[in-house]
Amino acid sequence: MELTHEVVELLIAEEPAFLTQNTAHKYVQKPDEIRSRDFSEMNEKLFQFLDKLAGEIS
């Protein structure tokens, strides 16, 4: 899934209590921390992977 600011907001909206009140899962980030990330490098790697996968299937 490509992560954009819009997608991130939709994901955060689905589980706000889990993200803000979680104490049991140490790798769960708070909403503001998630919002501050730049997903462009990850998205580019995703596109490269999918392009390569699509090329192998064709």
pLDDT at 23 (0 to 100): 86
Q: What mean pLDDT is predicted for residues 29-58?
A: 93
Q: What is the value of pTM for the model shown?
A: 0.70
- Under the banding of pLDDT at 50, 70 and 90, the label for residue 57 is confident
Cα angle vertex 4, ends 41, 40, to 5°? 10
pLDDT at 39 (0 to 100): 95
pLDDT in tens, 13-38: 999 999 999 889 989 999 999 999 99
Mean pLDDT of the chain: 93
